[in-house]
Amino acid sequence: MGARLSLVGTVVGCFALAAAVLPTWLRPIFVPPEPLDQVVMEMARKSGLVHQESAPHLEWPDLFADTAATLGFLAIALGACSWACSFFAGEPRRHAATPFALGCGAILFEEAGPMAVSLIIVSVLIDSALHRPDRGA
């Protein structure tokens, strides 16, 4: 039972990792960069300078991101179930590590951009707090 769950979790984890990685590689092919005037108008709309009602729409990179996160969490859950089954059945637990790794990899790849930006901001703040010039020395 544990081996089946780990196999299913591995397949789901592979799909999750593919859903996380593919939009990064395929976006430049299918979505050309926007012209500069459209970028300026979009920034003006977001800042509130230009008001225009637009219908909400879901873009395919957002769909892939949601799919990667969902499948990643599903792979982690299947890995946990596989580990529990192998624990009670006396089977090797190393097979349960594969869905864990693939699911975590998909989620981390999807969140790598925001995490990298936040790490840079935190490191700059810590560096500026630690290396302040002395006042009046």
The residue ranking higher by pLDDT, 136 or 36, is: 36
Q: With a threshold of 0.75, does the pTM exceed it?
A: no
Per-residue confidence band for 112, with pLDDT thresholds at 50, 70 and 90: confident
6, 78 contact by CB (below 8 A)? yes
Compute the mean pLDDT over every residue in the chain, rounded to the nearest whole number. Answer: 77
Q: Do residues 102 and 75 lie in contact, with contact meaning Cβ atoms separated by under 8 Å?
A: yes
Average pLDDT over residues 109-114: 76
**Alpha-carbon distances of 5 from 2, 27, 96, rounded to whole Å:** 5, 33, 8
Mind listing the pLDDT tens digit for each residue in 17-60?
888 877 777 776 776 777 777 777 777 777 766 655 555 666 76
Residue whose C-alpha is closest to residue 73's, from 20, 3, 1: 20
| Helix ranges (DSSP H) in the chain | 2-30, 36-47, 60-89, 94-110, 112-130
* Token digits of residue 126: 């810590």
pLDDT tens digit string along 73-86?
A: 888 888 888 888 88
HEC per residue, 8-26: HHHHHHHHHHHHHHHHHHH
Question: Is 116 a residue whose pLDDT tops 80?
Answer: no
User: Is the CB of residue 72 less than 8 Å from the CB of residue 16?
Assistant: yes
User: Residue 42 and residue 73: Cα distance in Å, rounded?
Assistant: 34
Q: Which residue has the higher pLDDT, 98 or 115?
A: 98
